[in-house]
Amino acid sequence: MERSEDALVVEAVLAGDRERYARLVDRYKKQIYNLAYRMTWNSEVARDLSQETFVRAYANLHRYRPEKSFFNWLYTICLNLTRNHLEKKRELLSEDGNAPDTWADTNPSTEQRSPESQMIERQATNGLETALSALPEELREAVVLRYLQELPFEAVAETLDVSLSAAKMRVYRGLERLRAILAEQGGRR
């Protein structure tokens, strides 16, 4: 599906063919879930945020501009919902004084691997989760979009609503901070 095809589907949905929206959901549900998961490290929360993303997008289809990428528009909705979720989580934690629980949960794709390989992957994932969680939100978003979601810099810039050079700078700074955090973690083991 190219931009123009997405725009045609949106146009059809707005004209009353609501069934066509399922094509957009099917097309993008995996990417939206992955974004939410990589920002929260919790599959249940990611499922909820993904579902809410598609509900919000449907309710606001009239605001979508066909000259823009539907995919990036959808990503922006998911990113905003995720930011709100993380902010609420921070507020709750600061109110009750408890330390945050680990954001990690079981990755469904690990079920078919040996216990040893699952444990090794889990340790590496926990280190990355911890390091990413330590990044400021704007840097974490840029790194996740660019390297975990594999978006080109142009799409990162559009999704974050910043210039191309600002997107590149956020990714660069995020990677630098991530390297430092990971090096520090390695030194503690």
Report the predicted TM-score, pTM, of the whole model to 2 decimal places.
0.67
Q: What is the pLDDT of residues 28-55, one digit of tens each?
A: 999 999 999 988 888 999 999 999 999 9
Q: Which residue has the higher pLDDT, 104 or 165?
A: 165
Name which of 10, 69, 57 is nearest 29 in CA terms. 57
Name which of 34, 79, 30 is nearest 56 in CA terms. 79
Question: So what's the pLDDT on residue 102?
Answer: 40
DSSP 10: H
pLDDT over 90 (residue 166) = yes
Task: Give the domains, in start order, of the chain with CATH numbers.
Answer: 1-102 (1.10.1740.10), 115-189 (1.10.10.10)
- Residue for token pair 């449907």: 58
* Chain mean pLDDT for the chain: 82
Question: So what's the pLDDT on residue 4?
Answer: 75
Q: What's the Cα-to-Cα distance from 158 to each of 138, 155, 173, rounded to whole Å? A: 14, 5, 18
